């Protein structure tokens, strides 16, 4: 029609659509834009109808349209051209770029409506426009976040349970490439394989409800498997209900647990087969929780007899203070090595041992590992060797005095303060010690040395202090063990 005259029906139509949130543009059969509501004007950034242009050609000159793939629309492709051509269409998405601008300002979703006259000829052409800019901006932000999120994720369309989006995190997690996943179904790449609550997960998936966190084994493209935590959250993508699945990789934890289990198995094997007595006690109460066969051979207590009891209850140590001393050292350093102790056996016998202990973690509990080495035979052999050497060398003046002194020091009780070497004595102190060994009294020794008795007593006191004795007999015994008396004069 050339001129559209206002009528009661058209006025009513304008009144109805004027308040709609959707934009409405009316075009006549001669391609003239005859009316638009406020929403349509706002969606084009203009204040009145003239801002849209007087006709279709003018509209194209004022606004450049392009599809979401950046393809620009030419003459005949505009939605307004298509409706003029009598084409009915629904939900055409275009980006709208005002004249003299480079980037789109709006995203429109457009559908057409063709009104005919009584003879069925096109009478009024309608474009119904919805501004979907905010929706697409939100989707774009979601897309960017989804893609850059390091957490592995996929999006599945609920209608056919096919994957429509995959991020790089999922590619890194599984080894699948994106094109190997997109378009595939849940049954082809089963992300819920062996899930803890598989039936509940599938029910929630069918209902479009949140899938709670659960463990699952994902099958990998190389035939392997990977343990994960998977959870699903309902989302909408392109107006379609979908499920966003996110994953957490539990494989490092499983590997660590396997390594820990293997390590504990190796430890248990070593513990059982060790030729040296070993025991494990709890850290807090000191209760025996395991012993090996060598412990039974050393102490006489079998594992069944000792289990659940403390070392104190077994009366295991001759020195009642040993456990307290050991506990103090473990608190300070978490371990000690080679501590002398005497073990009391089940039958009451005593065995000299070297004891080492350390705090260990066993099955997530902190325990104490005791290593008890029987050195009774070694000590006995040492004493026999020392006695044999002394018997051979008793009257041999040419034997090195240093060796004799070392032998004497070896005979000192273990745990005693460090023995004094004769080299630490002064020449005068050696002379005093040598004359004491010859049996002279203070008067004779003082005269022979050319000093007063008081001076001699001072020398003797210093000698006692250095060698750790307080009586003349002890000093003489100490000196004779080291080859005294010496040949005078002493150099």
pLDDT of res. 376? 75
pLDDT of res. 2? 41
Q: What is the pTM of this model?
A: 0.48
pLDDT of res. 398? 42
- Domains of the chain in start order, with CATH, are 8-131 (3.30.450.20), 137-249 (3.30.450.20), 265-374 (3.30.450.20), 420-480 (1.10.10.10)
Q: Reduce the secondary structure of the chain to three states and give it as a string.
A: CCCCCCCHHHHHHHHHHHCCCCEEEEECCCCEEEEECHHHHHCCCCCCHHHHCCEHHHHHHHEEEECCCCCECCCCCCHHHHHHCCCCCCCEEEEEEECCCCCCCEEEEEEEEEEECCCCCEEEEEEEEEECHHHHHHHHHHHHHHHHCCCCEEEEECCCCEEEEECHHHHHHHCCCHHHHCCCECCCCCCCCCCCCHHHHHHHHHHCCCEEEEEEEEECCCCCEEEEEEEEEEEEECCEEEEEEEEEECHHHHHHHHHHHHHHHHHHHHHHHCCCEEEEEECCCCEEEEECHHHHHHHCCCHHHHCCCECCCCCCECCCCHHHHHHHHHHHHCEEEEEEEEEECCCCCEEEEEEEEEEEEECCEEEEEEEEEECHHHHHHHHHHHHHHHHHHCCCCCCCHHHHHHHHHHCCCCCCCCCCCHHHCCHHHHHHHHHHHCCCCHHHHHHHHCCCHHHHHHHHHHHHHHHCCCCHHHHHHHHHCCCCCCCCCCC
pLDDT of res. 483? 78
pLDDT of res. 354? 92
For every one of its 491 residues, what pLDDT tens digit does the chain have, with 9 covering 90 and above? 444 444 446 666 666 665 578 999 999 888 999 999 999 999 999 999 999 999 999 999 999 999 988 999 999 999 999 999 889 998 899 999 998 898 999 999 999 998 877 777 777 899 999 999 888 888 888 888 787 788 899 999 999 999 999 999 999 999 999 999 999 999 899 999 888 888 899 999 999 999 999 999 888 998 888 899 999 999 988 778 999 999 999 888 888 888 878 888 888 888 888 999 999 999 888 899 999 999 999 999 988 899 999 999 999 999 989 999 999 999 888 899 989 999 999 999 999 999 999 998 877 788 999 999 988 776 666 566 666 656 555 555 445 555 556 565 655 555 555 557 777 888 888 888 888 888 888 888 888 888 898 888 888 888 888 888 888 888 888 888 887 877 766 65
pLDDT of res. 369? 94
């Amino acid at each position: 029609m050339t001129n559209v005259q206002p009528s009661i029906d058209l006025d009513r139509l304008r009144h109805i659509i004027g308040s709609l949130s959707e934009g409405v543009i009316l075009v006549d059969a001669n391609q003239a834009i005859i009316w638009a509501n406020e929403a349509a004007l706002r969606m084009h950034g203009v204040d009145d109808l003239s801002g849209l242009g007087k006709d279709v050609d003018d509209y194209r000159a004022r606004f450049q349209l392009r599809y979401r793939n950046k393809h620009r629309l030419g003459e005949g492709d505009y939605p307004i051209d298509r409706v003029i051509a009598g084409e009915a269409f629904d939900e055409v998405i275009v980006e709208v770029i005002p004249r003299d601008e480079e980037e789109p300002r709006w995203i429109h979703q457009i559908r057409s409506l063709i009104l005919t006259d009584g003879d069925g000829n096109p009478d009024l052409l309608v474009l119904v426009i919805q501004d979907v800019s905010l929706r697409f901006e939100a989707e774009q932000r979601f897309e960017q976040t989804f893609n850059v999120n390091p957490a592995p994720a996929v999006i599945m369309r609920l209608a056919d349970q096919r994957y429509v989006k995959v991020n790089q995190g999922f590619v890194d997690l599984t080894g699948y490439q994106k094109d190997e996943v997109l378009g595939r179904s849940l049954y082809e790449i089963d992300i819920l394989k062996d899930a803890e609550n598989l039936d509940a997960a599938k029910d929630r998936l069918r209902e479009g409800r949140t899938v709670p966190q659960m463990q699952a084994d994902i099958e990998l493209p190389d035939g392997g498997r990977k343990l994960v935590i998977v959870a699903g959250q309902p989302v909408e993508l392109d107006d379609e209900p979908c499920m966003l699945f996110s994953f957490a990789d539990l494989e490092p934890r499983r590997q660590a647990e396997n390594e820990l289990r293997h390590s504990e198995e190796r430890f248990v094997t070593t513990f059982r087969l060790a030729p040296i007595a070993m025991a494990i006690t709890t850290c807090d109460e000191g209760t025996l929780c395991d012993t090996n066969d060598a412990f039974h051979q050393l102490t006489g207590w079998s594992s069944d007899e000792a289990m659940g009891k403390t070392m104190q209850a077994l009366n295991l140590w001759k020195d009642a203070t040993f456990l307290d001393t050991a506990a103090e050292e473990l608190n300070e350093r978490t371990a000690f090595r080679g501590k002398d102790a005497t073990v009391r056996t089940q039958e009451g016998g005593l065995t000299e041992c070297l004891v080492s202990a350390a705090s260990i973690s066993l099955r997530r509990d902190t325990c104490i590992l005791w290593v008890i080495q029987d050195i009774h035979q070694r000590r006995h052999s040492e004493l026999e060797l020392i006695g044999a050497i002394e018997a051979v060398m008793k009257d041999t003046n040419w034997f090195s005095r240093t060796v004799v002194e070392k032998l004497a020091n070896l005979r000192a009780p273990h745990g005693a303060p460090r023995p004094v070497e004769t080299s630490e004595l002064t020449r005068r102190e050696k002379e005093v010690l040598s004359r004491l060994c010859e049996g002279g009294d203070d008067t004779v020794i003082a005269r022979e040395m050319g000093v007063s008795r008081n001076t001699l007593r001072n020398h003797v006191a210093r000698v006692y202090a250095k060698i750790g004795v307080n009586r003349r007999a002890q000093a003489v015994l100490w000196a004779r063990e080291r080859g005294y008396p010496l040949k005078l004069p002493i150099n």
